[in-house]
Homo-oligomer: A and B are copies of this chain.
Amino acid sequence: MVSDTDHVPPGGKAGRPRSERARRAVLHAVDDLLVDVGYAAMTMKGIAERAGVGRQTVYRWWSTKAEILLEACLVDAEEELTTPPRPDAADDLLAYLTALTEFLTTSPAGLAYRALIGEAQHDPVVRDLVHQAGLLALSAHDVLRRVRSSAPNMPDECLCAAQLTGPVVTQILTTPEPLPERLLEAHVAALLRAWR
């Protein structure tokens, strides 16, 4: 008589587990490709090939190149946007804005982030991803919390963050040159005048 029991494993997850090696290879491939060929020329096919990974494996875990890029750059980004506290409020803000400028114009992670903001204008899904990551807001709030004591007249935190970073970011997104150091100083001075 033949037993009828080749039964399903009762709990837990069946099947081969996800390959961490493949995941990392994809994230690295995206980093490399963004620098090598740019966002527009970066394709899902190209990512898979560069990573030495099956195409389906990419699609299994990410829907779009934007999703991969976000995962690839988020950690680096957060780190690069964290500046050490400085005793003087003006110095503190200036250091942050300098780091922000550097990040968005030079750092690979920053270029990725700019590409994502760009894509967000075309694709509402990416828009939500980018907003949910909240990279800009988070890093700005950190530094703003520190200067709060020396700027008693600061308005709504959200507006403050916008006032602090908006001019810098918009300049970078819409013109070929970022605000120069000199104007960053003037910007910080004006902000502190308004918030004091």
Contacts and interface: CB of A to CB of B under 8 A. Distances in A.
A11 B156 CA distance: 64
A196 to B, nearest CB: 9
A22 interface: yes
A141 interface: no
Contacts of A186: 155-156, 159
Nearest to A127: B176
Stoichiometry (number of copies): 4
Interface residues of A, number: 55
A40 B123 contact: yes
Interface in A138-196: 155-156, 158-159, 162-163, 165-171, 173-176, 179, 183, 186-187, 190-191, 193-195
A63 interface: no
Nearest to A133: B174
Interface stretch (A1-9, A70-78, A79-87, A88-96): A1-9
A123 B122 CA distance: 14
Contact of A167 (B2, B38, B131, B159): B159
A32 interface: no
Contacts of A174: 117, 120, 130-131, 136, 169
Contacts of A167: 159, 162-163, 166-167
Interface of A: 2-8, 19-22, 38-40, 114-115, 117-123, 127-128, 130-131, 136-137, 155-156, 158-159, 162-163, 165-171, 173-176, 179, 183, 186-187, 190-191, 193-195
26 contacts: A2-B6, A2-B8, A2-B19, A2-B20, A2-B21, A4-B5, A6-B19, A40-B122, A115-B122, A117-B173, A118-B118, A118-B120, A118-B121, A120-B174, A131-B174, A136-B170, A137-B175, A155-B187, A158-B183, A162-B166, A162-B170, A163-B163, A166-B167, A166-B168, A169-B170, A169-B174
